[in-house]
Chain A
Amino acid sequence: MLEAILALTALAVAFGLLLGFASVRFKVESDPIVDKVDAILPQTQCGQCGFAGCRPYAEAIASGEADINRCPPGGETVILALSDLLGVDAKPLDDEVGEEKLKEVAIIDEKTCIGCTLCIQACPVDAILGAAKQMHTIIESECTGCELCVEPCPVDCISMHTVKEDLNNWKWPYPEAGEKKA
């Protein structure tokens, strides 16, 4: 009887120490789920989900505070990837956050721009070049199409344009049409 108790206690102590050591030795700094969710999100940083950027939304998803269907730029692809990652059911995009649309970039009408720098302050990815009382311009390759610069502009000189399809970003269509035709 006594031996059994001692043996079990010894085992409990041994494993306790082992687990304690492991929790210190293999400590993970940030929540790995947040990183994984953040990796799936499109990084538009538009805030349409109601959070101040993609990372805060990822944190909210990881902690269960937010649903996975609140990212309009990511659309169906992101919802499917998130449902796959988190093991929850996919659902259509939440109506209140907006709808999925083609990738856009912002363009400044440089004739109208007064150089107020308000858009520069609004851009989450520093994609606008300019200085006070100097004309501003958007670095198209860095623009995520978040639209955050459109509203602050006092002279309404920023407009959103759908990214044009060219030979280098064109995609072969899904061959469903071929199957139907036959």
Chain B
Amino acid sequence: MSHLLHTFPGGLHLPGNKDMSTGTALTEAPIPKRLIIPLQQHIGAPAKPVVEVGDSVLKGQVLAQPEGYVSAPIHASSSGTVIAIEDHPVPHPSGLTAPCIVIETDGEDRWIEHGGNPDYTNLDPSDLRNLIRDAGIVGLGGAGFPAFIKLNPGARTELDTLIINGAECEPYISCDDMLMREHADQVILGARIMRHALHAKQCMIGIEDNKPEAIAAIGEALDNLDEKGIELVVVPTRYPTGGEKQLIKVLTGKEVPAQGLPIDIGIVCHNVATAASVFRAVDQGEPLIQRIVTVTGHGAAHPKNLIVRIGSPIKDVLQAAGGDNGVPYDLIMGGPMMGFTLTGDELPTTKTTNCLLLATQKDAAEKGPVRPCIRCGECAQVCPALLLPQQLYWHARAKDFDKAQDYNLFDCIECGCCAYVCPSNLPLVQYYRFAKTEIWSQEREKKAADKARERHEFRQFRIEREKAEKAARHKSRAKAVKKDSADSDKKAAIQAAMERAKAKREATEVQPKNTENLTEAQKKQIAEAEARRNDPKTQSAGQASEDKE
């Protein structure tokens, strides 16, 4: 435990409020009557349904297959009947609807036939990745990036470090804490599998020091499993240590390059819950159909952590946790810093629903009125990405997106530290999010315009080419006609030759063939006869005599 720790710039010490929900043990939420399973619960392309309305499905059955590389399959989280494949509101800051598969559960919770590969060390890393992909595992820390992609070292043969992220820095959230307390062995075994897939030289589990129970449990599990290759590192509690780049900095002292990925510096970082689901997928063949959700906040009657089937309506999850306590609250998915307000409790839980925060006035201290920026510089001091939040704010506000990008807008992790300390109560992160999505949209439009230009130019080129080809065809036909007239002389000559030949043949034909090899007397006789025949006076007589013959 004598690991040399580093620090990242900025950050905040926030009131944790995690004890609220860690008092009671993990319990399983009951099977809801209806499961609403969105087709897109991950970064990348939505999955494509492979079931139809009316099909009966078993727990763990594939409902939708991934489309493209960056995508993940979706599985049924309980047995029942597919009653609809339709648009349904999903938990998303936009409040939009998205295609979902709705299952009416039968309460039997019958599993599809499944089996694991406990002997995973014999598997090729690429087979392991396929297993993990087929299990639909995505990053459970919040972003939902398909996990198998982050288990691919790419062109590298091996990797420096695999970091298992158990920091869980955001206030209120305690799902990773409870997972480590109660299923530490799954986390360790999952980390082992990930390490095998990545060929990582070393492996570390980073946990913030405000979770002593989790630290003890992980330490114990490491001893029990006699695992010497995985190092448990306790890191000081400071928001946002749980950010991938921040945790990497704290544990290794290395900095992920601007707009780069950890893999660029030989590091891969996975969440503890992702590790545990990788273990269940590989060892038992269980796809990702459940996750731990924290229900907390001063609006919750009994804040606690629940094992929830993915697709369970939020209403049912809240009910399973004991409902609210009557105090008016805002329903937030995620934590108070990075979460977003939900439009209602009819929405389903997804693979990335880590926390449902029933935030009363006690939780979200009333922010004063928004005042102009006074350029105090507080925001720059707390920014963990070493950005200049007020510059970003000015440029985003003025919609000067080029300038915002010059100030590295895309290195912002939207942790909310700047907005938290802002004395003018500016909604800074909202400006950055606005600018980011606006820039993406402009890039999409630019791409579409470039494609349209290319297609338009090709069409014009094609029309020109067709015209030219037509003209060329006309020309060649005209030439052919001309050629005909030029040929007529030749034809006439041939005709004449043929006629000459015919005449000659006819001329030779009148000579009888039996006049050769005759004696002079006979020739004379014939000549006389011919002379008689050609003589008009004797013609009739001769003809008569000939006839007689």
Contact = CB atoms under 8 A, between A and B. Distances in A.
Whether A associates with B in a native complex is yes
Interface of A: 38, 41-45, 53-54, 124-127, 142, 144, 165-167, 169-175, 178-179, 182
Among B90, B451, B453, the one with the most A-chain Cβ atoms within 10 Å of its Cβ is B453
B452 A43 contact: yes
Q: DSSP class of B's interface residues: helix, strand, loop or mixed?
A: helix
B42 to A, nearest CB: 11
B165 to A, nearest CB: 25
A126 B454 CA distance: 11
Nearest to A181: B370
A142 B427 CA distance: 38
Contact of B94 (A125, A170, A179): A170
Contact of B370 (A142, A165, A182): A182
A172 B427 CA distance: 13
B427 A124 contact: no
B433 interface: yes
A124 B93 contact: no
B370 A178 contact: yes
Contacts of B444: 169
Tell me which of A41, A44, A124, A125 has the highest count of chain B C-beta atoms within 10 A of its own C-beta: A125
A44 B448 CA distance: 10
B425 A167 contact: no
Contacts of B448: 43, 144
B98 A44 contact: no
Nearest to B458: A126
Q: Which 7 A-B residue pairs are closest in the complex by CB-CB distance?
A: A175-B430, A43-B452, A43-B449, A171-B437, A172-B433, A125-B455, A182-B370
Interface in B345-401: 367-370
B98 A142 contact: no
Interface in B405-459: 425, 427, 430-431, 433-434, 436-438, 441, 444-445, 448-453, 455-456, 458-459
B430 A178 contact: yes
A44 B458 CA distance: 15
Contacts of B477: none
A166 B452 contact: no
Given A172-B434, A175-B434, A167 B452 contact: no
Interface of B: 40, 90, 92-94, 96, 98, 367-370, 425, 427, 430-431, 433-434, 436-438, 441, 444-445, 448-453, 455-456, 458-459
A107 to B, nearest CB: 17
A26 B453 CA distance: 27
A179 B425 CA distance: 9
Given A126-B459, A127-B455, A167-B94, A174 B450 contact: no
Given A124-B459, A142-B455, A167-B40, A42 B434 contact: no
Contact of B459 (A125, A165, A174, A182): A125
Contacts of A127: 455
Given A171-B438, A178-B370, 17 more contacts: A45-B456, A54-B453, A126-B458, A127-B455, A144-B448, A165-B96, A166-B98, A167-B90, A167-B92, A169-B441, A170-B96, A170-B437, A172-B430, A172-B438, A173-B434, A179-B427, A182-B368
B456 A43 contact: yes
Nearest to B90: A167
Given A167-B94, A173-B434, A126 B455 contact: yes
Contacts of B434: 171-175
Contact of A43 (B425, B450, B459): B450
A117 B122 CA distance: 59
12 contacts: A38-B453, A42-B445, A43-B452, A43-B453, A54-B453, A125-B456, A142-B451, A171-B438, A171-B441, A172-B430, A172-B437, A179-B370
Nearest to B38: A167
Nearest to A40: B449
B263 to A, nearest CB: 24
A38 B450 CA distance: 10
A144 B448 CA distance: 8
A54 B457 CA distance: 11
Contacts of B369: 182
B430 A42 contact: no
B136 to A, nearest CB: 18
A166 B449 contact: no
Contacts of B456: 43, 45, 53-54, 124-125
Nearest to B425: A182
